[in-house]
Amino acid sequence: MSSFLQPFAERFATLDATSLHRLDELYSQDVCFQDPLHQAEGLAELRRYFESIYANVRELRYDFHEFDEVAQGRGYLRWTLHFRHARLAGGGLISLDGCSFLRWSERVDYHRDYFDAGALLYEHLPVLGGVIGWLKRRLA
């Protein structure tokens, strides 16, 4: 198990809308963050992105399943995100599996999340979700 990844994940999982000032304990000032929906360059932009995410969720929790340091200062986290959003899935709990690649020295300077954006967002929108569900059933 990585001596960096698990403590990082544990600290990351405690973040919420009131504690985003602690991002500088985890990320470098020039961090590059990317997920399927957004890209942020620098800590200030990352903080704004996380503020917009946390402002719209009623509950958010991560379960981390695997910590894999593949080289010095590089590794992967496998996780499940659980969240509630008033405008998605009728406010019900949504769970999403994903993986993060991190690069770090003292703090993370590169963070890329991999997940199914449809499973996160589009499948839970009132009209579009029905269409995507229908398409998935037809293609299965």
pLDDT tens, residue by residue, 55-113: 878 888 999 999 999 999 999 999 999 988 776 767 788 888 999 999 999 999 999 99
pLDDT score recorded for residue 1: 45
The Cα 36–Cα 54 span in angstroms is 17
Q: Coil, strand or helix: which one is 126?
A: helix
pLDDT score recorded for residue 69: 94
pTM over 0.95: no
What are 134's two structure tokens?
A: 């229908």
The Cα 58–Cα 132 span in angstroms is 25
Show the domains of the chain with their CATH numbers.
5-139 (3.10.450.50)
